[in-house]
A = this chain, B = another copy of it.
């Protein structure tokens, strides 16, 4: 059952050096910025991150990378962060780049108890190296394994006191699937409402997946590429 914490500092206290952490968000849209700030302040290092991108220089995961506190990353796209590319070419960080849908599906498999599945994506590419290839109904597939983590840092819009989560627009992205795949899922939300206030039909992440909940202290909600109608 979910436990509600008073502060982001307290809720991540046992996220020690060497932890493996899933971090929701598409770029910096829908990231748990308060948890990431607290993680930065905690001083934990040698972190193993599972995050779609490396965010941007000096913000979110980018700040941890700048401080050289990230040991490894499983990610899909790191094109917006120069420092991570530099560390990668210098051998200062391990990066496993995987297709974005495979990234989602491997975490989903973890959450649903599937240890491995055959995937049509990446056949005949670097992604297939070292993986079992199998022909099913005349088409080649590769075997992909479930992907879990010690912690999942999830950002939702609202939660109720039972830990049910609702996301807002595309800030949803990888947050719901990571909530199912973390051993300990920590949700940072903008608002916590009493049980019964959220419509049972509209819950995105049922409370069963959420072990810890905290109301974020401060939402900067940076925009990666502000683009306006011409």
Contacts and interface: CB of A to CB of B under 8 A. Distances in A.
Q: Report the copy number of this chain in the oligomer.
A: 2
Contact of A114 (B105, B115, B139, B169): B105
Interface stretch (A17-25, A117-125, A220-228): A117-125
Contacts of A116: 117-118, 136, 141
Interface in A12-70: none
Contacts of A168: 201
A141 B115 contact: yes
Interface in A103-152: 105, 109, 112-120, 136-137, 139, 141, 145
Interface string A202-218: 10000000000000000
A220 to B, nearest CB: 23
A114 B113 contact: no
Chain A interface size, under 10 / 10 to 19 / 20 to 34 / 35 or more = 20 to 34
Contacts of A202: 202
Interface in A150-187: 167-169, 172
A120 B109 CA distance: 12
Nearest to A143: B118
Contacts of A114: 105, 117-119
Contacts of A105: 112, 114
Interface of A: 105, 109, 112-120, 136-137, 139, 141, 145, 167-169, 172, 200-202
Per CB-CB distance, the 4 closest pairs between chain A and chain B, nearest first, are A117-B117, A115-B136, A116-B118, A114-B117
Given A115-B141, A116-B141, A167-B201, 9 more contacts: A105-B114, A114-B117, A114-B118, A114-B119, A115-B136, A115-B137, A168-B201, A172-B201, A202-B202
